Amino acid sequence: MNYTLVGAFVILLGAVLVSGVLWIASGGTFQKKYDQYMAIEDESVAGLNLNAPVKYNGVEVGKVSSIYLDPENPERVRLMFLIERGTPIKTDTVAVLKTQGLTGIAYVELGGGSRDAPPLKAKMLEAYPVIRTKPSLSARLENVLTTVLVKLDRTSTNIDSLLSDENRHALKGALADIATVSHTIAARKDVIDAGIVSASRTAENTARATAQLGPIIVRIGRAADSVEAMGNDISLAGRTTAKAVGSVGSDAQRFAADTLPEIQRLLGELNDLSISLRRLSDQTARDPGGLLRGHSPIPDGPGETMPKQLAP
């Protein structure tokens, strides 16, 4: 009877120990609790397996629990995550596929959640909260390479059209013309150099003559002013004489009749001289080189040209 009780006690104790070990091995009271999230990928998830780690800023916080095609759109893949409860999954958290080292083992990296963003919750008619995704590095590189290849192909096509037989012949002819012009210029190098030296000397002489004409122009202007003042003085003297003649007798009137026309003619000539000097001064100021090379004759106006047979 005692042996039976002892055997039953040992069996019961062994069962309790085995149950305790199994309970502790499964986590027991310290077992972690997980929340389920979903992510929808628009790219290939090759290399991502079940139970692949899910990391948040490099810290492992869960695993991939399910991978299957979206029944509404077979070009997309639905991923289910088991993430430790308490992980700060926010509305602006983003999931990205990454590969680990050179082994190519894929995992999911979470990030981008800001401190002030609200926690991510399931929307209406959704069983689980959906984490936003963005293209992985390999997908972005593939897109960039595809764009570059398209542009290279387009550039190659443009180059082929640019280097057509017609354009090549035209370019060859243009290069031949440029070579001919270069040889012609090289053959006349001495003439061109002499022309450049002559032009330089002419410019220097013109500048020197222009500098010398400055005082002459000033003097001409002063002479014109002096002649104009002289004319004014003579005119004043003439008016004074006329007044004096009006006050004398008939002899003085006869003298005025003989002398005043001469004086008036002299005044007119002095006035014309003053105007001519003023015009010469203005024209020289506008075109100083005209004193050296002369002025081009003014063409005859309408009706001024005299036929040769009528010329005296």
| Tens-place pLDDT, residues 163-187 | 777 777 888 888 888 988 888 888 8
Pick the range with the lowest mean pLDDT from 133-142, 210-219, 261-270, 302-311.
302-311
Q: What is the mean pLDDT of residues 266-287?
A: 73
Q: Which of 64-73, 113-122, 195-204, 227-236 has the highest mean pLDDT?
A: 64-73
Q: What pTM did the predictor assign?
A: 0.43
Strand pairing category for 94-100 and 77-84: unpaired
Q: What is the mean pLDDT of residues 137-153?
A: 85
Q: How far apart are CA 293 and CA 2, in angstroms?
A: 152
% of the chain surpassing 70 pLDDT: 76
Q: What pLDDT is recorded for position 19? A: 80
Phi–psi pair at 63, nearest 5 degrees: -150, 165
Q: What pLDDT is recorded for position 312? A: 37
Of 295, 264, 292, the C-alpha closest to 279 is 295
Q: What pLDDT is recorded for position 169? A: 80
Model confidence at 310: pLDDT above 50: no
Q: Where are the domains of the chain?
A: 31-136, 207-293
Helical pair 189-247 and 165-187, crossing angle rounded to 10 deg: 70
The tokens for 264 are 């008036």
Confidence of residue 309 (pLDDT cuts 50, 70, 90): very low
Model confidence at 305: pLDDT above 70: no
Q: What pLDDT is recorded for position 69? A: 92
Q: How many residues does the chain have?
A: 312
Model confidence at 301: pLDDT above 70: no
Q: How many CA atoms lie within 13 A of 213 on its CB side?
A: 19
Q: What is the mean pLDDT of residues 264-289?
A: 72
Pair 257, 242: CB distance under 8 Å: no
Q: What pLDDT is recorded for position 20? A: 76
Q: How far apart are CA 95 and CA 62, in angstroms?
A: 13
Q: What is the mean pLDDT of residues 217-234?
A: 73
